[in-house]
Amino acid sequence: MASETISNPNLDSTLREDRIFPPPAEFAAKAHVGSLTAYEELYRRSIDDPEAFWAEAAQELEWFAPWTRVLEWNQPWAKWFVGGKINLCHNCVDRHVQNGKRDKTAILWEGEPGEVRRLSFAELHVEVQKFANVLKGLGIQKGDRVAVYMGMTPELAIAILACARIGAVHSVIFGGFAAHAIVDRVNDSQCVAVLTQDTSYRRGNEVKLKATVDEALPQCPSVKNVVVYQRSGSAVTMQEGRDYWWHELMATAAAECPAEPLDSEDPLYILYTSGTTGKPKGLVHTTGGYAVGTYLTSKLVFDLKDDDVYWCSADIGWVTGHSYVVYGILQNGVTTVMYEGAPNHPGPDRFWKIIDDHKVTVFYTAPTAIRAFIKWGNEHVAKHSLDSLRLLGTVGEPINPEAWMWYREVIGKGRCPIVDTWWQTETGAIMISPLPGAIAAKPGSATRPLPGILPEVVTRTGEPVPAGQGGLLVVRKPWPSMARTIWGDPERYEKTYWSDIPGSYFTGDGARIDQDGYFWLMGRVDDVINVSGHRLGTMEIESALVAHARVAEAAVVGRPDEMKGQAISAFVTLESGNEPSPELKDELRAWVAKEIGALARPDDIRFTDQLPKTRSGKIMRRLLRDLATHGEIKGDTTTLEDFSVIAKLREQDE
């Protein structure tokens, strides 16, 4: 599929969206970038002289030694801030302790059962130094890989900051993955230790993290030690000589551990992608450039101010959690909220209660969560005021315009700008997003590129496509937070991202640019549907379905069809209180034809309670395509959230 799209990348666009929401004047007046002109000037300057632009941003951080060159670029190999010495933990923690924020809350944590912990920057400083000494005490050195398989606890943030402090390379493995996912990831990068916890709480149940580690480790010969944070106190087995309790090691750890002056290009972490399009890839991020990219994008996109209480609901197991729960936010010295559990425990209003209880000002979540909130009903939102909010964000998938409108009206009360942020594990930081005080939003568009970023929509040979026409989304210039390679497989890195389109980083996503220069993400090029010679992105047909009052969520895929090349299969979940019926199928098919044209009318519609998703909440269309085409699943399913969804879909098939 991918290669077919790459050979003919032009996509037909069907979405018509003309609503536009300028930044509220009051918001713009206080914003870091407060007008379209200011954005355009900044952007122009950043593209005319990217090195000067990025160097200026880097100067807002603390370096132990200056760089001698901003960029050394030998496509696809980048070195940023060459020769510079920096420590990201120092910039997240020590810098604020030294600059008057000792007592300010750095991490505001809420457990699923309801307990609250606040760690000030000074307290976080104590914890990361001690835990860095714990790591050293286990013989872990700069460059060693350390797997982190924990729940959303402050200790997870402490663990990765402590690795960053001594130059150990962390590899966070999402705490919901099964043992074989640990085995694959730990072995791929030869981790020497695993940091975990006894259990974590999810929807009132205990997730047995340590037991899963025990199941994995017999197949992981590189692992010498396991450190276990005691979260719940549930019984676990400890293997003598290999396993240690976090609190016991901390009790005797020395209090001081200076931050290691690391080379700007020393690796910071390895992180595997979500697996939406195939087998996950272990991307490597390095220190200096990643620090600068996450710092600057957090500041500009979330318009961060000292008094913000910022909450990103993503798990630290995903790149969003790395960049926008921990590193980008703490570098800005802003309070970051962490929540341990499920959005619907004990009730579907848990998130809104958290926002009111802690006076959250900036909230960042995913379209999948927004669609779930819509499905659960507005009455749960109505119980809370949400008065403290001033800015909303989304990430992870294209957001359907109707979900965007709901987010704006029901959560943002029409008052809060929304930043729809497009980026990837590979990009390390946000790439395309409105600056909320400068750029008018259009529902469903990630709007315009951030300063320093030069994305384009092109043909296979790298020619820009005309406005309004779909094509391949690429990035033309290197940027500091870009991944440097795939761990242990530089060839795969080069081949996956840098060989399809001459001179560009290829994102794997389809997009179009409108007459105002706004980017519209159309879906994965792997998922493009080819109907009678027209090439359709999935996003627009799905958005048309979601715009129907009874539809909560939709995924469309192509299946082979003798007449048309491909036929369109739609999988639809209904809003609560609606029953599937043949009449509703006809109605939905007619609805899509009316909304966006007969060409996009689904050939068949299947109702389902749930769609197959990755653990990060993204729709896995490739599995639906397998199912629609062959009646069975062929691709990699290691990051699938819930296997029973596939079984149920198959039953309905019969």
Using the minimum distance from each CB to Mg ion, give the nearer residue, 273 or 566: 273
111 binds ligand ATP (CB under 6 A): no
Instruction: Give the C-alpha separation, 645 to 96, whole Å.
Output: 46
451 binds ligand ATP (CB under 6 A): no
Which one of 408, 618, 621, 625 is in contact with ligand ATP (CB under 6 A)?
618
Using the minimum distance from each CB to ligand ATP, give the nearer residue, 260 or 420: 420
Instruction: Give the C-alpha separation, 378 to 538, whole Å.
Output: 27
Using the minimum distance from each CB to ligand ATP, give the nearer residue, 165 or 524: 524
Instruction: Give the C-alpha separation, 125 to 97, whole Å.
Output: 8
Which one of 269, 302, 311, 422 is in contact with ligand ATP (CB under 6 A)?
422
Using the minimum distance from each CB to ligand ATP, give the nearer residue, 231 or 625: 625
541 binds ligand ATP (CB under 6 A): no
294 binds ligand ATP (CB under 6 A): no
421 has binding-site annotation: yes
Q: Name the token pair of 550.
A: 């009874």
446 binds ligand ATP (CB under 6 A): yes
* Sole residue written with tokens 């895929």: 557
Which one of 425, 447, 485, 538 is in contact with ligand ATP (CB under 6 A)?
425
Candidate ranges 86-94, 269-277, 530-538, 626-634; the one touching Mg ion (CB under 5 A): 269-277
Name residues whose C-beta falls within 8 Å of residue 252's C-beta, 6 or more positions apart in sequence: none
Cβ-defined contacts of 559-567 (< 8 Å, 24+): 559/625, 559/628, 559/629, 560/629, 561/603, 564/531, 564/532, 565/530, 565/531, 565/532, 565/533, 566/529, 566/530, 566/531, 567/531, 567/603, 567/604
Instruction: Give the C-alpha separation, 341 to 207, whole Å.
Output: 11
| Strands, E assignment, 287-434 | 309-312, 335-339, 362-365, 391-394, 418-420
Using the minimum distance from each CB to Mg ion, give the nearer residue, 273 or 323: 273
**Angle made by CA atoms 317, 372, 634, in degrees to the nearest 5:** 60
Answer for the pair 56, 64: CB distance below 8 angstroms, yes or no: no
Of the candidates 175, 177, 171, which has an alpha carbon nearest to the alpha carbon of residue 199? 175
Compose the 113-142 pattern: x for residues touching ligand ATP by CB under 6 A, - for all others.
Answer: ------------------------------
**Partner interacting with residue 446 (select from ligand ATP, Mg ion, none; CB below 5-8 Å by kind):** ligand ATP
Using the minimum distance from each CB to Mg ion, give the nearer residue, 81 or 497: 497
User: Other C-beta atoms within 10 Å of 211: how many?
Assistant: 17
Compose the 560-599 pattern: x for residues touching ligand ATP by CB under 6 A, - for all others.
Answer: ----------------------------------------
Using the minimum distance from each CB to ligand ATP, give the nearer residue, 210 or 524: 524
548 has binding-site annotation: yes
436 binds ligand ATP (CB under 6 A): no
Instruction: Give the C-alpha separation, 185 to 265, whole Å.
Output: 22
| Cβ 614 to ligand ATP shortest distance, Å | 6
β-pair type (362-365, 309-312)? parallel
Candidate ranges 10-18, 458-466, 505-513, 625-633; the one touching ligand ATP (CB under 6 A): 505-513
151 has binding-site annotation: no
504 binds ligand ATP (CB under 6 A): no
421 binds ligand ATP (CB under 6 A): yes
β-pair type (267-272, 169-172)? parallel
For 285-313, give the secondary structure using H, E and C. EEHHHHHHHHHHHHHHHCCCCCCCEEEEC
Where does this chain bind ligand ATP (CB under 6 A)? 273-278, 280, 318-319, 395-398, 420-422, 424-425, 446, 507-509, 521, 524, 616, 618
List contacts with Mg ion (CB under 5 A). 273
Q: Would you list which residues are annotated within the binding site for CoA? A: 202-205, 320, 344, 532
